[in-house]
């Protein structure tokens, strides 16, 4: 009954999107900044420039359009739309083009090595940001694989790409690959982001080996082996989200990132499993959205060693149905302040909020379960503006 009520509430909000938008603005007096917020969606997601976003918003989902809610309160929010199964590199290039109003340039070296066209969609005259600069910084918010996309974008903004500079003739290089723009970023916030990959990838093989795996576990195979797989256009199989989500490549990607002492870093990990005093993790599938319940059970039982030697022991078992909680706190090579609760924050360090009790889509508002997370975003954004 509760899910049925939630469904009809969702329908009402989609039909009347203004019904749940507050009219009052937040008092920004006393805050130090009010830079725009750029929301980077995850695997299989979509942004505001898709025709169906107004009907089914990625940011808000069952709870209605959260960006309109935040905008009505005085926060400027934009949400670019990247290739749903693209690599962190490709998606970072796409986000940059939409934010700056330019044509997508994946880079001469990258496109030739990965065997796909160098240029993508042209957003000239359609910039999501009016003036992105050192004086007009942005705050990045990345959900799920949007976390890796976000940090890849930050790395390119900071340091560009030496490979692209070496391969590209003068005058033909995208400004993104020049670097020197790290001061365009004020803060980054990862939301259930698998920085170090996810055991959902090796769990796919565990499920495939079962003769009678339940349907909700088969959904893991569909998500990791289907949705995250490369575009079937002849490009390299390493140039996709599925590759960057695998633990060894994910950790290798983090080793290419640098963390600036001039940027604030935050993370909000999720978990919906339970771990007892003996360290045993269990999963109550009734707590999860259906599409994550099967993965959560398998991930809560999984241990193993990756081909690259990463030991996925019991510390990897707590999860949100798609991402291991340990992976969502910070890249393993990054400094971390675990248990951050707001207020003064160090730059160049991942300030990790207490783990949120929810599955992987809970921070989006839920798919069928209407999860009210709007005030969580308001609190985080007010905190960032007040630093």
| pLDDT tens per residue, range 116-146 | 999 999 999 999 999 999 999 999 999 999 9
- Amino acid 129: pLDDT: 97
Q: How confident is the model at residue 211 (pLDDT cuts 50, 70, 90)?
A: confident
**Rounded average pLDDT over 236-265:** 96
Does residue 22 have a pLDDT over 70? no
pLDDT cut 90: percent of the chain above it: 75
Average pLDDT for residues 13-33, to the nearest whole number? 61
Q: What is the pLDDT of residue 157?
A: 98
pLDDT number for residue 17: 41
Bridge-based pairing of strands 138-143 and 119-122 is unpaired
**Tokens 């909680």 correspond to what residue?**
325
Examine the pLDDT at 227 and tell me if it is beyond 80: no
What does DSSP say about strands 77-78 and 37-40: parallel, antiparallel, or unpaired?
parallel
Residues 6+ apart with CB under 8 A from 270: 192, 320, 323, 325, 328, 355, 356, 357, 358, 359, 360, 362, 363
The CATH code for residues 2-386 is 3.40.50.1820
Residue 19 has pLDDT above 80, yes or no: no
Question: Which band of pLDDT confidence, cut at 50, 70 and 90, is reported for residue 208?
Answer: confident
Cα distance between residue 273 and residue 297, in whole Å: 9
**Tokens of residue 347, six digits:** 């730059």
Sorting pLDDT into bands at 50, 70 and 90, what band is 228? low
> pLDDT tier at 54 (50, 70, 90 boundaries)?
confident
Please report where in the chains the tokens 């020049």 appear, as a residue.
178
pLDDT tier for residue 191 given thresholds of 50, 70 and 90: very high
Q: In which band, very low, low, confident or very high, does the pLDDT at 62 lie, cut at 50, 70 and 90?
A: confident
- In this prediction, residue 221 has a pLDDT band, given cuts at 50, 70 and 90, of low
Of residues 226, 153, 164, the one with CA closest to residue 190: 153
Looking from the CA of 87 toward its CB, the CA atoms found within 13 Å total 20
């Amino acid at each position: 009954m509760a899910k049925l009520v939630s469904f009809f509430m969702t329908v009402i909000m989609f039909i009347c999107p203004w019904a749940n938008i507050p009219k009052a603005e937040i008092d920004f007096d006393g805050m130090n900044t009010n830079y725009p917020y750029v929301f980077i969606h995850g695997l299989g997601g979509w942004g505001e420039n898709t025709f169906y976003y107004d009907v089914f918003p990625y940011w808000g989902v069952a709870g209605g359009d959260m960006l309109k809610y935040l905008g009505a309160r005085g926060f400027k929010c934009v949400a670019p739309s990247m290739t749903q199964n693209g690599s962190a590199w490709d998606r970072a290039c796409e986000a940059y083009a939409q934010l700056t109003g330019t044509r997508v340039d994946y880079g001469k070296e990258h496109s030739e090595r990965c065997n796909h066209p160098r240029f993508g969609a042209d957003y000239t005259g359609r910039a999501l940001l009016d003036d992105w600069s050192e004086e007009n910084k942005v705050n990045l918010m990345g959900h799920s694989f949007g976390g890796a996309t976000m940090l890849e974008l930050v790395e390119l903004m900071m340091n560009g790409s030496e490979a692209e500079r070496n391969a590209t003739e003068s005058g033909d290089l995208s400004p993104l690959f020049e670097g020197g723009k790290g001061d365009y970023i004020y803060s980054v916030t990862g939301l259930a982001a698998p920085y170090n990959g996810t055991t959902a990838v090796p769990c796919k093989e565990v499920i495939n080996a079962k003769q009678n795996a339940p349907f909700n576990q088969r959904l893991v195979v569909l998500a990791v082996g289907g949705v995250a797989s490369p575009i079937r256009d002849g490009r390299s199989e390493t140039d996709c989200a599925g590759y960057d989500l695998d633990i060894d490549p994910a950790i290798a990607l983090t080793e290419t990132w640098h963390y600036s002492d001039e940027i604030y870093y935050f993370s909000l990990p999720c978990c919906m499993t339970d771990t007892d005093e003996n360290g045993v993790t269990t999963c109550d599938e009734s707590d999860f959205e259906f599409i994550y319940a099967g993965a959560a059970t398998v991930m809560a039982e999984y241990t193993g060693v990756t081909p690259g030697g990463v030991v996925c022991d019991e510390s990897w078992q707590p999860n949100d149905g798609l991402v291991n909680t340990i992976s969502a706190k910070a890249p393993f090579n990054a400094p971390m302040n675990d248990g951050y609760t707001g207020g003064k924050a160090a730059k160049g360090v991942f300030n990790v909020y207490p783990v949120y009790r929810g599955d992987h889509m809970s921070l989006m508002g839920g798919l069928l379960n209407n999860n009210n997370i709007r005030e969580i975003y308001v609190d985080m954004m007010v905190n960032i503006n007040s630093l």
